[in-house]
Structure 1
Amino acid sequence: MSASPPSDPLAAGLAAASALQQRGDVAGARRALLDLLAAFPGHPSVHRALGLLAANTGARDEALRELRAAVAAAPGVASLQVELGSVLAHGGDFAAALPHFEAATRLQPGLALAWHLRGITLVRLQDDAAALPVLRRAHALAPDQTPTLLALAQAEFRSGFPADALPLWQEVRRRRPDAEAVLRLGETLSRMGRQDEAAALYRDALQRQGDDADLWMALAQGEEDEGHRDAAEAAYQRALALRPGWAFPLAGLLGLRRGKAAPEHVAAATARLGDDIPDPERALLGYELGKVHDGRGEYREAMARWDDANAARRRMIGDYDDGDIRARGEAIVADWPAQVFAAGPRPGHDPDPRPLFVVGMPRSGTTLTESILGAHPQVFGCGELAELGLVAALAPLRPGRARRWPPGPDDLHPDALAWAAPRWLEAATRRAPADALRLVDKSPLNFQLLGLAALLFPNARVVWCRRDPRDVAVSIYGENFSLDERFATRLEGIAGFINLEQRLMRHWQQVLPLPILELRYEALVTDVEAQVRRLIHFAGLPWDPACLDFHRSERGVQTPSRWQVRQPVHARSVGRWRNYEFALGPLLAALDDAPEGG
C-alpha cells in the first residue's frame, strides 16, 4: 500500500491511534480506529490496524476477522497476507496459514519473510520435502537472517542432506557459538561418518565454554561410537554429576557395562523406575536395566523391565498394526513383478558395480557382516545409510501419482533414477577411498526397497543375513530402537516384521536380476573362515586374511552391536532365546513359519 501524505485524514487518524496504543491506552486506540472505520468504511489499512491491535492484546478471533476483512479489501497486498497467516499460525492453525504465505510469495517473490514463514509452516505441517526448497529460497534472499539459517540447517539434516547441512551449522556456530549449535554441528558430522571430528568438536567446546551436561552427554556417545569405553564412561559420569538423576547418562552407564554395571547406577535406575516418571525416561532406563539383568542371568527380571519399557514406548508412539504391515508386503509384491526387470536396465540407472546391500532383520548379523567386508582393503563399509529410504520418500513422481512409501516402479518419474542414483553414491563415497571396489550399505530394513535398488544399480549385490527368529526377537525386544519402529515394541509385532522380511526376500530372489547371498548367522559364528571366504568370494574380491581380524578395526560403529563387533567372532549368542522361552508364546503364535531347530 502506498503511504498517505501527512495531511491525509486517514493517515492522521492511524497515527493518532498508534500513539494512543504506544501510551498503553488500548481502549482509546480501538475507539479511535472504529471512528476511523466509520469515516472510511472497508478501508484495508483501518481493518489491518484493528486486527494488529486485537492480536497484540490476545483477542485472536477479532484479529482474524479484521485481518480477513483487510485481505478481502486488498487481496494483492503481500504484507496483509503475511500478517493474516502469522495470526493463524500463532494460534496453531498451520494448514489455514499456509495458503496466505504462499499467496504472499507469489505476490512479492522477493519478500524473504514470506518465504521464511511459508517454509516454517511446512515444517510445522511435517512436510520437510516441500519446506526445503522454500527455506533455501528464503535463505538466498536474506542470508543474514539467523532464524532462516537455523530452520534451513535443521530441515537439510532431517531430510537426509547432512553434507548440505554441514556448512549451515558451521555458520550457525560462527554466529551463535552456544552449546546447541555445537551439538547440532557434531550430530551432522557424526551422520556423515566423521565421529572423530564430532568428538574433537565437543572436547574443544567443553574447554572453551566450560562444563555443560549436554556436551558431556554428546561426547560420551561419540566416544562409545569410537569404541573408547573408559572415555565414554567418564563422560557419562560427568554429565550425570552435572545433572543428577538425568536418565540419558544413567542409561548410558548401564549399557556400557551391562551385567557388570556399578551397583549404585543399578540402584539409581531401579529407584527412578519406581517413581512416576515420563514414558521416554521409563523406556530408556527400562531397556538398559533389562540388559543389566540379562547379563547377570536374571532373565525374568530382564523380561519384566523390557515389558515395562515397551509398554511405555507404545504409549509414546502408538501400537503396532499387523494389518498395515501385511498390506505393505502385498503391495510391494504386486508392484514389483519380474516383468519390471525383464527389459533390462531402465534409462537413468547407474551401472556402478560397487554397491553392495546388506539386509535382513535388525540383530541378524548385519553389522558383523559389514565389519567383515569392511576389513577387506578394497571395501568401504558405509554404515547404515539413510539414502535409499530417502530416495524412496523423495523421488520425483509421475504427474498425478500420489506419494506413498515405498513407491512402485510405475509411480516413479522417468527422471527419478538419474536423480536418485547420485544421491546414494554421494553419501556412500563421502569418506570412501577412491580405489574402493565395493561400497557396503548395511541398513537392514532396505529389504523392503530392493526393487528400487535394482533399478538404480543393476550391477549391485545383496547379502541377506538370516538368524533364528527367536534370537532375533529377544534381541530386538530388549533394544531401544528408533521411535519409527512400532513393530519392535511387541513380540507379535517382531514376528509380523519377520514374516514381512521372509515374504519379500523370497519374492526378490525370484524376480530380481541381482545376485543374493543368504548368510546364516549360526553358520557364520561356528564355521568362521569357510563362511567369511564364501562372503568375500560372493563380493567378487580376492581373499584377504584381514577379514578374519575385522574386530581390530578402529572405525566408528553407530549401531547397538558396536561392542560385539570389536570382539572376535563367538557363538555365545546362538540359542539365547532359550533363556526367555517362558515369554515367547506370542512370538511363536504369530510367525508364519515355525523356527528351524529345537
Structure 2
Amino acid sequence: MATPDRPEPGERSGAFDMALAEAEGSLTTDPSRAAAKARALLLSWPQNPAAHRLLAKALERMGQPSEARNAKAMAVTLSRHVPAIGEAHRAVLAGQPAAAIETLQSHLARHPDDPVALLVQGEALARTGRLSAAVSSFEAALAFMPEYREARIALVRAHYQRFDPRAALDGLALLLEPETRDVALLRWQAALLAEVGDHERAEAVHRRLLEIAPNDPAVLVGFGDLQRTLGQTSEAERAYRKALVAAPGLGAPWWSLTTLLGGQLDSADRTALKAAFDEARNPADRLYLAFAEGTVADKAGDHERAFALLSEANRLRRAQLSYDGNAFARRMEDLEANLDRSFFADREDWGDLSDAPIFIVGMPRSGSTLVEQILAGHSQVTAGGEMPIVTSLLREAAASAGLDPERDIVELLGTLTASDCTRLGADYLKRARDRCGRARARFTDKLPHNWAELAFIHLILPNARIVDIRRNALDCCVSNFALLFQPGHPASYDLIEIADYYLTYVRAMEWCGKVMPEVIQLVRYEALVEDAEGETRALLEFLGLEFESGCLELGTEGRVIATASAEQARRPINRSSLDGWKRFDPWLGGLKEALAPLHRDRGHGNERHLPIGRN
C-alpha cells in the first residue's frame, strides 16, 4: 500500500525521485514545465507531499498565489502521515528528542523543504536546549509556508525561551489579525510587550482582553499584575477583587491581593480567605491560599499559626519540584577546584569588551531590587530587571557542545574559544538592549541566581561589573521561605535547603572574589539601609559613575518595578526589613543549625562577608 513517503510495492521510487529532481531543476527557468511535471507525478502518486510542494513552488513562480497556497496546505496535510515524521513526533512527545532528530535525518536529507519535518525537528532541538538551531528549523519551515501557524507559534515560543522578547513579539504580530479575539495570543502579546518595556501598548492589549473576557480570572489577574508593576496599586486591587468575584475559591488572585496589600486584609476579606482555604481541594489553589493565609496571619502577629501555614505551603510547593541541592553544590565546587585566577588571566581579552552591563547578584530577597532602583536613579543607568539571558546562552552553548551545563560546567567553559566568547557576549548585549533600550550607557541585570554563572559571565563580558548584595543569613532565608516565587528558585521551599543554598552562594562568591576581584563589589544590605548615601557613593565609584542625588529618591512616582518587592522598593529606604527572622525564632532551630558553618568561619577574618543575624 502506498504511503506519502513510499510508492506502491514494485514501483521504483528511485525513478520517481529522479523525475522529481529533474522537475525541481526547471523551476527557475521554466516554472510552467515544472508544474506540468508535478501534476504528471501526482497522477501516479497523488499522496506524495514532495510533488505537492513542487507544484506549490511552481505555481508561486507563475503568479498563482491562491493555487500555490492550496498545494502547500495539501503538502502539509500529507506530510503529517509520513512514517518517519510520525515516528519522530512520537519520540518528541515521549521525551526522546535526540531519537527524533536522528529519525528525521534521512528524510530531511531527501526533502529539506518539508515544513512538517522541519517543525518536528525544531521541537526536538528546542527540547535538547539547542534553541538557536530550533529557530533556524522553524524559520526554514516558514520560508516554504509563511502561513504555517504551528511553525509560527513554535518560532515565537523558541524566541521567548531564548529570552529574545523582541523577536518573539515580531513573530507573534504575524499571527494576530487586526480584530482578533484569541485570548491566549493576546495575553502572550501583552506579556511580551511588558518584557520589552512597552507598558503603554501592554496596557492597551490588556484593556482589549478585558473587553473580550471581562470575567476571566486569568485576564483580570494579568491586568492587575501589570498595574502593580506600574505602581497603580488601586487599579491592581480592583482587578484582583474582580477576579475573586468571578472565582471566589481561586488561589492566585488571593495570593496577589494579599501580597499587594502586605497581608493587611480587613475582617471580611480574612473570613472569605479562610473559607476559601478550608474548602480548597485543588492542590494548586491550596498552595496559593496557604501562602496567602500565612502572610495574613504573619501580619496580624499570629506568628505560630503563620509559620505553620507557611510550612504547609512550602511543603506543597516542594512536592511539585525536582531539585538536587547536593548536585548543585558539587557543580560549584567543581568550578572552585578547577578554575583559578590564571584561567581567567589567560583569557582576559576574550569576550565582548563592553562595560555596559551591571550584574546585581545574590540570594533572592537580599535587596537586589533596592540596589537596582538606586542605580536606576542615575542618569546613565537603565533598570533591566531580571533577565534570564545568561542562563539561556549557557544552555545553548552546552547543547551545541553536547554537554550538560550542570554536570559538565568546567569542561564546557574550557572548550569555549575566544570567538565563542565574543559571539556570546555580543548576543547577550543585543538581547539585553532589546529589553532595556539604548538611551543610557549602562544597564542592570538583577537576576539573583546569576551568581552561579559568574565564571561564564566573566569570560563573555570581562568588563561587566558585578554587585554582590548580601543580606544576613537568617533574615534572607526566612524571607525566602515566606514567599511564593515564580519558577526559577526551587531551593526556597525548605528551610534546610535554603540554608544549604545560602552556604553554597557565600562560598562561591568568596571564590569569585579571589579569581576575578577587580570586577566584584560586595554590598551589605544592612549597611546600605543604615548609611544609604555612603554606601551608594562607594558603589557608584566602583562602577565608574559620578554620584547623583536621584539615586536616593526611591519614592519617585512612575518607576516600573516587576518584582515581589515592588511596593517595598517604592518606599524610601528604611529599616523595616531588619531582624525580621526573630518573629519565627522559636521554630528556627534547624535553620540555625544548618547555618552553623557561617559561625565557624568567624575568627578567620570573614565576619564582614558572612553575616548571620543581629544579636
- Correspondence for 1:354: 356
Q: Are the structure 2 counterparts of residues 182 and 342 from structure 1 closer, same or farther at C-alpha, using a change threshold of 3 Å?
A: same
Matches of residues 508-547 of structure 1 in structure 2 within 5 Å?
A: 508-547=512-551
Contact kept? 1:293, 1:302, Cα under 8 Å:
yes
- Correspondence for 1:385: 387
- Correspondence for 2:554: 550
- Choose which of 485, 494, 499 in structure 2 pairs with 1:495: 499
Which deviates more, 174-183 or 138-147?
Answer: 174-183
Deviation at 1:122, TM superposition (A): 4.9
Q: For residues 368-404 of structure 1, what are the alpha-carbon distances to aligned partners after superposition, in whole Å with 9 as ceiling and x for unaligned?
A: 0110011011111111111112122112678675554
Deviation at 1:130, TM superposition (A): 5.2
Q: State whether structure 2 residue 164 is matched by structure 1 residue 158.
A: no
Deviation at 1:266, TM superposition (A): 2.6
- Correspondence for 2:575: 571
Q: For residues 271-323 of structure 1, what are the alpha-carbon distances to aligned partners after superposition, in whole Å with 9 as ceiling and x for unaligned?
A: 233235233222222222222122112211111111011110121114x5332
- Choose which of 131, 139, 145 in structure 2 pairs with 1:136: 139
Contact kept? 1:139, 1:152, Cα under 8 Å:
no
Q: Are the structure 2 counterparts of residues 566 and 217 from structure 1 closer, same or farther at C-alpha, using a change threshold of 3 Å?
A: same
Measure, in 2, the Cα distance between the counterparts of 1:334 and 1:586. Answer: 29
For the residue of structure 1 that corresponds to 2:479, the secondary structure is: helix
- Choose which of 103, 113, 120 in structure 2 pairs with 1:100: 103
The answer for unaligned runs of 5 or more in structure 1 is: 12-44, 49-76
Which deviates more, 269-278 or 368-377?
Answer: 269-278
Measure, in 2, the Cα distance between the counterparts of 1:287 and 1:277. Answer: 15
Letter in 2 for 1:215: V
Q: State whether structure 2 residue 282 is matched by structure 1 residue 278.
A: yes
Which deviates more, 152-161 or 86-95?
Answer: 86-95
- Correspondence for 1:365: 367
Deviation at 1:107, TM superposition (A): 2.2
- Correspondence for 1:14: none
- Choose which of 417, 424, 429 in structure 2 pairs with 1:420: 424
Matches of residues 148-547 of structure 1 in structure 2 within 5 Å?
A: 148-174=151-177, 177-207=181-211, 211-275=215-279, 277-318=281-322, 320-343=323-346, 345-347=348-350, 349-395=351-397, 403-404=405-406, 407-408=409-410, 409-430=413-434, 432=436, 434=438, 436-547=440-551
Q: Are the structure 2 counterparts of residues 544 and 429 from structure 1 closer, same or farther at C-alpha, using a change threshold of 3 Å?
A: same
Letter in 1 for 2:315: A
Measure, in 2, the Cα distance between the counterparts of 1:327 and 1:271. Answer: 45
- Choose which of 543, 568, 593 in structure 1 pairs with 2:598: 593
For the residue of structure 1 that corresponds to 2:360, the secondary structure is: strand
Contact kept? 2:248, 2:276, Cα under 8 Å:
no
Q: For residues 213-259 of structure 1, what are the alpha-carbon distances to aligned partners after superposition, in whole Å with 9 as ceiling and x for unaligned?
A: 33222111111111111000111122222233222112211221133
For the residue of structure 2 that corresponds to 1:415, the secondary structure is: helix
Deviation at 1:144, TM superposition (A): 0.7
Measure, in 1, the Cα distance between the counterparts of 2:95 and 2:439. Answer: 52
Deviation at 1:110, TM superposition (A): 1.2
Letter in 2 for 1:279: P
Measure, in 2, the Cα distance between the counterparts of 1:185 and 1:433. Answer: 19
- Correspondence for 2:35: none
Contact kept? 1:370, 1:381, Cα under 8 Å:
yes
Identity %: 27
Q: For residues 21-66 of structure 1, what are the alpha-carbon distances to aligned partners after superposition, in whole Å with 9 as ceiling and x for unaligned?
A: xxxxxxxxxxxxxxxxxxxxxxxx9xx9xxxxxxxxxxxxxxxxxx
Contact kept? 2:385, 2:444, Cα under 8 Å:
yes
Deviation at 1:596, TM superposition (A): 5.2
Deviation at 1:211, TM superposition (A): 4.6
Contact kept? 1:156, 1:162, Cα under 8 Å:
yes
For the residue of structure 1 that corresponds to 2:248, the secondary structure is: coil
Measure, in 2, the Cα distance between the counterparts of 1:93 and 1:343. Answer: 39
Measure, in 2, the Cα distance between the counterparts of 1:125 and 1:455. Answer: 24
Q: Are the structure 2 counterparts of residues 98 and 262 from structure 1 closer, same or farther at C-alpha, using a change threshold of 3 Å?
A: farther
Measure, in 1, the Cα distance between the counterparts of 2:133 and 2:590. Answer: 41
Compute the TM-score of the two structures, normalised by the length of structure 1: 0.81
Contact kept? 1:398, 1:413, Cα under 8 Å:
no
Letter in 2 for 1:273: F
Root-mean-square deviation (CA), in Å? Answer: 3.0
Q: For residues 341-387 of structure 1, what are the alpha-carbon distances to aligned partners after superposition, in whole Å with 9 as ceiling and x for unaligned?
A: 2235244x222122211111111111101100110111111111111
Contact kept? 1:395, 1:419, Cα under 8 Å:
no
Measure, in 1, the Cα distance between the counterparts of 2:515 and 2:137. Answer: 40
Contact kept? 2:384, 2:443, Cα under 8 Å:
yes
Q: For residues 142-188 of structure 1, what are the alpha-carbon distances to aligned partners after superposition, in whole Å with 9 as ceiling and x for unaligned?
A: 21111221122122212322121111222222285411010111111
Q: Are the structure 2 counterparts of residues 583 and 86 from structure 1 closer, same or farther at C-alpha, using a change threshold of 3 Å?
A: same
For the residue of structure 2 that corresponds to 1:572, the secondary structure is: coil
For the residue of structure 1 that corresponds to 2:537, the secondary structure is: helix
Deviation at 1:262, TM superposition (A): 3.3
Contact kept? 2:118, 2:141, Cα under 8 Å:
yes
Measure, in 2, the Cα distance between the counterparts of 1:285 and 1:210. Answer: 23
Deviation at 1:115, TM superposition (A): 1.2
Measure, in 1, the Cα distance between the counterparts of 2:157 and 2:136. Answer: 13
Compute the TM-score of the two structures, normalised by the length of structure 2: 0.79
Letter in 2 for 1:143: P
Letter in 2 for 1:569: I
Contact kept? 1:196, 1:226, Cα under 8 Å:
no
Q: State whether structure 2 residue 83 is matched by structure 1 residue 111.
A: no
Contact kept? 1:254, 1:292, Cα under 8 Å:
yes
Letter in 2 for 1:324: A
Contact kept? 1:279, 1:316, Cα under 8 Å:
no
